[in-house]
Amino acid sequence: MNELLVIGHPEVMEERRRWLAGLADERRLSEKTVEAYERDTRQFLTFLTAHLAGPPRLCDIRALRPADLRGFLAHRRKGGAGARTLGRGLAGLRSFLRYLERNGLANAAGAGAVRSPKQPKSLPKPLTHREALKVVAADAQLAEEPWIAARNVAVLTLLYGCGLRISEALDLTPGDFAEAATSLRVTGKGGKTRIVPLIAAAAEAVAAYRKLCPYHLAAGEPIFRGARGARLQPAIIQREMQKLRAGLGLPDSATPHALRHSFATHLLAGGGDLRTIQELLGHASLSTTQVYTGVDSARLLEIYDRAHPRA
């Protein structure tokens, strides 16, 4: 720790030392997280030293107001810190103040009144058409067991071909794939259901998996199984995708969720309208779909001009 670099009163520094030790020894936080919290509180105490024209004491910490914390965040933002850095820094300060509050040395209410900086929305990058088709190709799978390779193809094809979340795909049952079915009833976030088209490639991939699967697949149970017959877990598909990334030379952004993102992006690029894509994805808000597909104002105006009867 860089204790000698911190400008603070010894009583504050001792409590800070105990708090950091507790994070590592009792709460088992990672070394990187503890280092980040050490750095954030060091910067805060240095800011307070300049703000108060002297090293802060515990009584100064007790007297902190939300405006003081906002002033620190503004100072860090002016220095180039982004929203994620500021959010983590505020989390570290709240943790330190809660520690002091538990020991009767401060009040953490002021920190709780300060809202965390709004985080930028982060989405996986879509794969190209060629990359997505490689991922769902049967001959690209690396699993040694043929039925497991077929299972992986079926799940990944549902993500890319039908735009499902991985949890939605793994919740499907054999009963959802009635003979000659052309659509799926999917239960998404908040228990909301939607109907999505079942493309032929996805139906064929699921049929190939069912033919090879060594386990009995009852109508009301999950259709996708792990190697020992239990319900397939998302982490297994994520690991399989990681192997595929390495084998096919794809970027780290090629994740299972990126296949759903690619589904939406490729539909839009092919002329699909935003409202339909919203329904297929199960988004509650059209603005979510706009961000999800990377649609800008110019693209929205283009869609409007093409589709609106008064355009």
Q: Which residues are catalytic?
A: 165, 189, 257, 260, 283, 292
Quote the tokens at residue 113. Answer: 């009144």
Quote the tokens at residue 79. Answer: 């220095």
The H or E element that residue 196 is part of is: strand 193-197
φ/ψ (deg, to 5) at 237: -65, -35
The residues, ordered by sequence, that sit 6+ positions from 16 with a Cβ below 8 Å of its Cβ are 6, 8, 41, 45, 96
Cβ neighbours around 40 below 10 Å, total: 23
Q: How far is CA 300 from the centre of its chain?
A: 26
- Provide Rg for the chain, Cα atoms: 26
Reading phi first (left if > 0) and then psi (alpha if -120 to 50, else beta), residue 41 is in: alpha
Three-state DSSP state, 187 = strand
Cβ neighbours around 300 below 10 Å, total: 13
The residues, ordered by sequence, that sit 6+ positions from 289 with a Cβ below 8 Å of its Cβ are 264, 274, 277, 278, 281, 283, 295
According to DSSP H, which parts of 163-199 are helical?
166-170
Quote the tokens at residue 68. Answer: 């003081």
